[in-house]
Amino acid sequence: MFTSKQRARLKSLASTQKPIAQIGKEGVSENLVKGLSEALEAHELIKVNLLPAAGEDGENLAANVADLLHAEVVAVIGRKAIFYRRSSRENFEHIEI
């Protein structure tokens, strides 16, 4: 879990990002999870659109996706979710939180 200051910092960093994927009526597929995991490994912080067609509440859907990604939900704002997972790569400039 994050402190309120850490969460605010990550939200401010994500505010300039565009969503890299969207979760819709097809739900959460294995390929989607793989792609999001690779994006987290490369960037540590990603934003995803949660379309109403997904059929789930945004908070619940984000929590389920975070579990599959072994990541943390930074925030769900409207139908957008922000995820964070520290990269395991060496020689990488990690996000300071």
Q: What is the pTM of this model?
A: 0.93
What pLDDT sits at residue 27?
87
Over the stretch 52-89, which tens digit does the pLDDT of each residue have?
A: 988 888 899 999 999 999 999 999 999 999 999 999 88
State yes or no: pLDDT of 43 exceeds 90: yes
In sequence order, the 6+-apart residues with CB closer than 8 A to the CB of 78 are 58
- Tokens 């597929």 identify what position? 29
Residue 48 Cα to chain centre, angstroms: 6
Task: Parse the chain into domains and list their residue ranges.
Answer: 4-84
What pLDDT sits at residue 1?
81
CATH number for domain 4-84, candidates 3.40.250.10, 3.90.320.10, 3.30.110.60, 1.10.240.10: 3.30.110.60
Q: In Å, how far are 16, 57, 66, 97 from 86, measured between CA atoms?
A: 19, 26, 13, 10
d(CA 9, CA 96): 9
- Tokens 């294995």 identify what position? 30
